[in-house]
Chain A
Amino acid sequence: MKKQAVVINPNDNVATVVDDFPVNTIIHFYIGQSEHSLQLLQDIPLGHKVAIQEIKSGEAILKYAEPIGVATELIRPGQHVHVHNLESQRGRKDK
């Protein structure tokens, strides 16, 4: 299987794609040792993140098994996860 996305830690709810992929592509990746596949709901550019689980608004987005921000809306598996739907929780003047 050619790896098209990387899940760094099995606890992560996002994968990082290693090429530019258009909407509807079925990508293949590993979570730990097990193979998985997922149909993209949006274009995902090289190096960007795609949700591999449903992430509810207000839930932590996990990469490296650590929170990298909070979802600002419901994110479905296959959707692009980036600054439009992920909010950083650190270094903020309002918190």
Chain B
Amino acid sequence: MEILGYRRPDGKVGIRNHILIIPTSVCSSTVASNIANQVPEAVALPNQHGCCQIGADHVQTVRTLVGFGKNPNVAAVLVIGLGCEGIPIRETAAEIEGSGKHVEVVVIQESGGTLKAEAEGLRKVSELVRKVAHLQPEKVDLSELSLAIECGGSDFTSGLASNPAVGKAADLLVAAGGNVILSETTEFIGAEHVLAGRAKSQEVAEKLFKIVNDCEARAKYLNIDIRDGQPTPGNIAGGISSIEEKSLGCIYKAGHAPIQDVLEYGEIPIGKGLYIMDTPGQDIESITGMLAGGATVVLFTTGRGTPTGSPIAPVIKITANKRTYTMMEDNIDLDASSIISGEETIEEVGHRIFAEIIAVANGRRTKAESLGYKEFGIYKIGSTY
């Protein structure tokens, strides 16, 4: 099957054609958004970090920003720094440029302050618009698609209906040769043995057990209880009683394919098939990690209802809770409640979701896109100093 996509210089394929403005630190985020507000083709990341981070935390933030720049939904990039932040501005830009994209740099302290930096940035973004905005999508094989799967605001319908239906769509994409990424390590707790049984090798199974053990150990080290935050109050009101129950419902999103590998947060998979990424259960940080890892479209199941979008990728929202769909139709793309009422099977809805992925790849706007939702949040793994 073919879809429409933008072939990038590194050979990867995107389904959107954004010009991305990346502030390397929180200190350049305002200038970044001021520039993006003046150019319809441009979007800025609302970066809240980028300075006074050390060790693995610093490395992860750089990996995430570079991953966003390299994401195939991005046609060209403006990197904008303050000038004195911990994230290396020109090295970050150079690493993105390694993918063959047009990349420009503005440094506020070198430009001579906010207004001059905005003028310089606007001029550079206008040049990028002339270079890439005219690009037309071409026919590409469906296997070029990379799908991130997410669930948020889960309730009883998530594990029962919408997650298994997304699992069917994920299986269809893996069968077609595409990539699928399952994340949210917190929501493997209590279900890791089920997932590990599908690992490609013993080594991959052990990596999976390790990320879950590490997740629990971090909470224990801080003398805190994961139960205080998981399940969330909304999950509990919706009938979910424990993290184990939430996890066992959550993993249905990943269908039945073998697990190829366990990725670090924001790591780009090398091969095709189903991958696990080590991210927190928090939706925005989880999706941010998967998009840094090269995902180009997101399937997002919800029970309670959620508006989340992304600056660079379409997010397709699905609920199997009829009341939620009725209440939040503005935000939710697909109604899967027919599974609960018995009018459609999980398989049938899975095919319907798959058809929606194709339509969105071919240009249909999701509700989160049309409402302008652009959430972005980097998972911090250390203190800021």
Contact = CB atoms under 8 A, between A and B. Distances in A.
Interface of A: 3, 6, 8, 16, 18, 45-49, 61, 63-64, 66-69, 81-83, 86-94
A61 B240 CA distance: 13
Q: How large, as a class, is the contact surface on chain B?
A: 35 or more
Contact of B226 (A47, A61, A86, A92): A92
19 contacts: A18-B340, A45-B239, A46-B156, A47-B239, A48-B156, A49-B241, A61-B241, A64-B159, A66-B191, A66-B194, A66-B244, A67-B190, A69-B241, A69-B242, A83-B241, A83-B242, A88-B243, A91-B189, A92-B226
B248 A68 contact: yes
Contacts of B215: 91
A6 B227 contact: no
B123 to A, nearest CB: 51
Contacts of B156: 16, 46-48
Contact of A93 (B159, B190, B219, B340): B219
Contacts of B340: 18
A91 B225 contact: yes
Given A47-B155, A49-B239, A93-B223, 7 more contacts: A47-B303, A61-B241, A63-B248, A69-B242, A83-B241, A86-B241, A87-B242
A69 B189 CA distance: 12
B236 A91 contact: no
The residue among A6, A49, A88, A89 with the most chain B CB atoms within 10 A of its own CB is A88
B209 to A, nearest CB: 13
Contacts of A90: 189-190, 216, 226, 242-244
Interface of B: 155-157, 159-160, 186, 189-191, 194, 215-216, 219-220, 223-227, 230, 236, 238-239, 241-245, 248-249, 303, 321, 323, 340, 342
A35 B155 CA distance: 26
Contacts of A81: 241
A39 B279 CA distance: 43
A93 B217 CA distance: 9
A20 to B, nearest CB: 11
Contact of A8 (B160, B191, B216, B226): B160
Contacts of B242: 68-69, 83, 86-90
A82 B321 CA distance: 19
Contacts of A8: 159-160
A69 B216 contact: no
